[in-house]
Structure 1
Amino acid sequence: MLSKEDNEFISRVGPGTPMGNLMRQYWIPAMLSSELPGPDCDPVRVMLLGEKLIGFRDSMGRVGLIQNHCPHRGASLFFGRNSECGLRCVYHGWQFDVEGRCIDMPNEPPESDFKNKVKAVAYPCVERGGLVWTYMGPRETPPPLPDIEVNMLPEGEYVIIPSYVESNWLQAVEGEIDTSHTGFLHFGAIQPEDVQEGTFLHYTVKDRAPRYSVVDTDYGAMYGAYRPAKPGYVYWRIAHFNFPFYTQPPEGVLGHSVIMNAWVPMDDTHTMSFVMLRKDKMESGRPSRLPIQGNSEKYPDMQVPMLPRTTDWFGRFRPAVNADNDYLIDRELQRQPDSYSGIRYLASQDRAMQESMGGIYDRTQERLASSDVMVIRVRRRLLAAARALAEQQIVPPGVDHPEVYRNRSGGVLLPEGADWIEDTKELRKAFVEHPEVAAQLPQP
């Protein structure tokens, strides 16, 4: 468990906090490119790291992310007129470009040069792989974007699933790197005889208490969760935590699966999730993270229905299955052998657990076990990196080395006694195709 001081330190991400300062060293996924569908489209409210910002696309198609309050008298630029290569405050007509420069001040005399002395806070933005990335850090020249494989694929070869999570960002990250919950929360109702022998799912439900090996990496941390497989083999689930808030879950087959999940802090108690998948990981419109053998009624869809979008700070990508309706838990279904949680959607099952902890869970109350070894390691890495930055100005892992993000995750069978790190080195490399692995598909 964490001390009260460390829990506050690691959870808070607002301006001036050590963890917020750490995250500002990196490029941050701010929104989908499709949220700003064309030049001079409607502005969008965006909450990032506790800052209220306004996203807009100017007449030339460039994306800007600017402070909410007009520098003049504080009216919200959300109500601004987006035209003529800038966002114009409707209170007095002051207009700002994507770099925050005041380019027009029509309520001042023509001879006034005051507009040249006024600048709004604006963060540089670039678009790649369907995402708008922004840099909120102190450098005049930002670092390179991370080499996230799925975010570097050509248009049409990737899928992004955004979702709002009403909890602290770290609760979402820790839910993703906690692999032992899969055999209970998601597949607790499935018995080994329900699924085909020799599949990853069969091994998972046959032994729901895997052992773990965890190592530090130059991008964060990696774990291998292992359990017995067919005679002479061990089933390994290999996954990653990447600084500052990315996870690569062990879904699909190692060497083929291309996935990255971003858990972007909106503020201390709200998170925006961007699940990025290579498109060939989708089957019939569903992510292949779902098992495909056995009784299909036990394997609900992942994509949760969304509520109508609103324009408030937390109105983007809100799941219709949420705390207000108890995640539509069906107690009768829960009593039946076909469901463990009684909650239909896999993503809703995760969200129910993470959000039920509260906005920021009091981790001084935890009683961690051996299955939490990856959670413990990631906390230590985050705390150490944030303190090293705050106290010694040491640049956090991965900021200046985009290549360290070139990893893949997934499941693999290895002979008993194999060196899981050395023997999966090639399969974990991004941007490398493995026809011998693809020939094994489909696998759960």
Structure 2
Amino acid sequence: MLTTEDNQLLTRVGPGTPMGELMRQYWVPALLSSELPDSDSDPVRLMLLGEKLVAFRDTSGRVGLLRHLCPHRGAPLFLGRNEENGLRCVYHGWKFDVTGKCVDMPNEPPESDFKKKIKPAGYPCVEKGGVVWAYLGPRAEPPPLPALEALDTPEEERLILPLMVNCNWLQIVEGGLDTVHVSFLHAGHIRPEDAPPGSFLEHITRDRTLRYKVCDTDYGYICGAYRPVGDDHYYWRIAQFLFPFYAMVPTGVLGAKVETLMTVPLDDHHTMQYAVLKKGTGTYIAPGQTVGLLLDQTPLLPNSTDWLGRFRSTKNAGNDYLIDREAQRRGDSFTGITGFVHEDLAMTEQMDPILDRSIEHLGTTDMAVIRLRRRLIAATKALAENGTTPPGVDDPSVYQQRAGGVVLPKDADWMEATEELRRAEVSHPELDLTISGGA
């Protein structure tokens, strides 16, 4: 159970908050490159870490991210003209380049040097892996980007699935690392005899509890959750948390799956989650299925120009996620909600926008959630009180990790036995992806 003070520390992300300042030490995914499709295309409104911002692609193809109000009289830059390598406010004609520098002030007389006195109000942006990254932090020279394998995957092999979630970022990350819920929320209706023999799915339905081992790392932590397989082996579900908001969840086969979940706070009550994965590596996929089932092939609402109008599912709280109570009663589904992602969505959103964690009663299978909170609290307080740089900021190589499932002998050292399988950029053609059975 968290104190109210610690709960606020973990969940509040706006400028000046301890967690918001920790996240501003890192590059932050701001939007997809495809949301700014062409030079001089329409600007995009977006929220990011509690700030209202406007993104645009200039005539030369560079991306700018500006505070949304013109520094002259506070007019909305979203309604400005994107032209000739700058965004021009239509109120008085002030024009800003991608750095936020004022490059034209046509309402001032020619001899005026006033534009040189306007402090730039933009954030550095770079593009990598189909994502526009922004640095909202204090350094004059930003740190390196994280070396996430999924984002380094060639474009033709990479898939990015964005989804708006209407709740605080932390309960989403906690849900991804809470591996025991899979046996109930996603597979509670499946009998072990109905799963492929010897598969991971059989293991999680035959024994629905777990035991945990968690180790801190220089990028966050690694969690191994295990259950018996016969008399001599354990099935391990190995997950990774990587600062400040990345998770590699234990679905699929360890050593083959290439995926990262990027859970980006827009504000305290709304989050954009990007699932970035390499196609064909077994993520959420049973034999014969397609990756579209990650979102149950549920269409998204058309993006609007609202601050929170991007990548919203048509299956949502307003229609109770299209829950089918008859399917739930028949046992066709444990939840009556189709799609793993939407089952998770229903749980995290309906906890309330920010969960009051003082009501919780955590048990032994909540170890991963407990360790996540402790790591975040410690890093946030170390930054606020001592100026300690958070984990991973200056060393992109520590993000070269993988997660997934594996069966090991009971007497094996799980960290030592999986070291090579957890290493990114290593090929393991000998692995059988069908062993997951869809787990």
Instruction: Report the TM-score when normalising by structure 2.
Output: 0.97
1:327 maps onto 2:321 in alignment: yes
Contact 1:71 1:120 in 2 (8 A): no
Other-structure match for 2:404: 410
1:422 maps onto 2:416 in alignment: yes
Distance 1:13 1:326 in 2: 28
Contact 1:64 1:125 in 2 (8 A): yes
Distance 1:231 1:435 in 2: 28
Once the two structures are superposed, residues 203-234 of structure 1 have per-residue CA deviations (whole angstroms, 9 ceiling, x without a partner) of 01111101111111111011111111245221
Which amino acid counterpart does residue 364 of structure 2 have in structure 1? S
1:431 maps onto 2:425 in alignment: yes
Other-structure match for 2:158: 158
Consecutive unaligned residues of structure 1, counting only runs of 5 or more, are: 283-287
Distance 1:34 1:221 in 2: 32
Distance 1:127 1:416 in 2: 45
Post-superposition offset of 1:291: 3.2
Alignment of 1:283-302 (within 5 A): 288-292=283-287, 302=296
Which amino acid counterpart does residue 43 of structure 2 have in structure 1? P
Contact 2:199 2:436 in 1 (8 A): no
Once the two structures are superposed, residues 334-376 of structure 1 have per-residue CA deviations (whole angstroms, 9 ceiling, x without a partner) of 1012110011121111011001111111101100011100000
Cα pair distance change 1:310/1:382, threshold 3 Å: same
Distance 2:400 2:119 in 1: 38
Other-structure match for 2:375: 381
Other-structure match for 1:184: 184
Once the two structures are superposed, residues 118-153 of structure 1 have per-residue CA deviations (whole angstroms, 9 ceiling, x without a partner) of 134211000000000111000000000001001112
What is the number of equivalent residue pairs in this alignment?
Answer: 436
Post-superposition offset of 1:443: 4.8
Once the two structures are superposed, residues 385-427 of structure 1 have per-residue CA deviations (whole angstroms, 9 ceiling, x without a partner) of 0000000000000001111100000111101111000110011
Contact 2:256 2:433 in 1 (8 A): no
Other-structure match for 1:285: none
Distance 2:107 2:276 in 1: 46
Alignment of 1:195-214 (within 5 A): 195-214=195-214
Other-structure match for 1:248: 248
Distance 2:313 2:20 in 1: 26
SS in 2 for 1:333: helix
Other-structure match for 1:315: 309
Distance 2:316 2:433 in 1: 39
Post-superposition offset of 1:116: 1.1
Distance 2:34 2:281 in 1: 22
Contact 1:67 1:120 in 2 (8 A): no
Other-structure match for 2:277: 277
Distance 1:106 1:226 in 2: 67
Distance 2:433 2:360 in 1: 43
Contact 1:304 1:347 in 2 (8 A): no
Distance 2:229 2:149 in 1: 30
Once the two structures are superposed, residues 140-195 of structure 1 have per-residue CA deviations (whole angstroms, 9 ceiling, x without a partner) of 00000001001112221110000000000001000100001101001110000111
Once the two structures are superposed, residues 10-42 of structure 1 have per-residue CA deviations (whole angstroms, 9 ceiling, x without a partner) of 110000000000000000001000000010000
Which amino acid counterpart does residue 372 of structure 2 have in structure 1? V
SS in 1 for 2:224: strand
Distance 2:382 2:45 in 1: 33
Distance 2:161 2:298 in 1: 10
Contact 1:300 1:344 in 2 (8 A): no
1:347 maps onto 2:341 in alignment: yes
Contact 2:296 2:340 in 1 (8 A): yes
Once the two structures are superposed, residues 63-110 of structure 1 have per-residue CA deviations (whole angstroms, 9 ceiling, x without a partner) of 000000000100110001001000000111100000010011111111
Aligned alpha-carbon RMSD (Å)? 1.6
Distance 1:301 1:202 in 2: 23
Which amino acid counterpart does residue 269 of structure 2 have in structure 1? T
Consecutive unaligned residues of structure 2, counting only runs of 5 or more, are: none
Distance 1:326 1:3 in 2: 31
Other-structure match for 1:175: 175
Other-structure match for 2:78: 78
Other-structure match for 1:31: 31
Cα pair distance change 1:148/1:128, threshold 3 Å: same
Distance 1:440 1:365 in 2: 40
Contact 1:129 1:155 in 2 (8 A): yes
SS in 2 for 1:292: coil
Instruction: Report the TM-score when normalising by structure 1.
Output: 0.96
Distance 1:154 1:410 in 2: 21
Other-structure match for 1:363: 357
